[in-house]
Amino acid sequence: MPFRFVRHAALAVAPVLLLALSMLVSVSVPISVQAHSPMTSVTPADGARLTSAPATIEMRFRDPSRLIRFGLAAAEDGTDVALGDDHLMVEAADHTVTLPPLGAGSYVASWRAMGEDGHVIKGRFSFTIAPE
């Protein structure tokens, strides 16, 4: 009879111990490992209407990240804008993409980045150039 009581007591306590252990592990893991590094701002802003073409696109991430892909295309017909690749695979929180001269119209940028935690994040934004 005592063995049965010990076995039942151990089974009752096990979930509590597992919960306590998982809470301890989650508190001890650094926050940068727990979360992805989202983009916090972009210039020109998503949906911006500009009177002149920007020379660069500035992207800021919460933590250092590597841009692994960046593309820009004309929204009307999907024509890709030729870009260099010197902005790719550089580990930084702030990224600058140099643009060629752009004409009037709407553009869609799409990107992929890899955060310090190894997770890939992606997004899109657009802007319009409409000279006055």
Q: ∠ CA(118), CA(94), CA(70), 5° rounding?
A: 65
Same domain, 113 and 101: yes
- Evaluate whether 70 touches 114 at the Cβ level (below 8 Å): no
Same domain, 63 and 90: yes
CA 110, CA 124: separation in Å to the nearest integer? 4
Q: What is the pLDDT of residues 80-113, one digit of tens each?
A: 999 999 999 999 999 999 999 999 999 999 999 9
- What's the rounded mean pLDDT across residues 11-35? 45
Range of the domain at 67: 35-129
Same domain, 43 and 105: yes
Same domain, 44 and 91: yes
Q: ∠ CA(126), CA(131), CA(132), 5° rounding?
A: 130
**Residue 91, SS3 per DSSP:** strand
Quick one: pLDDT at residue 113?
A: 96
How many structural domains compose the chain? 2
Same domain, 39 and 103: yes
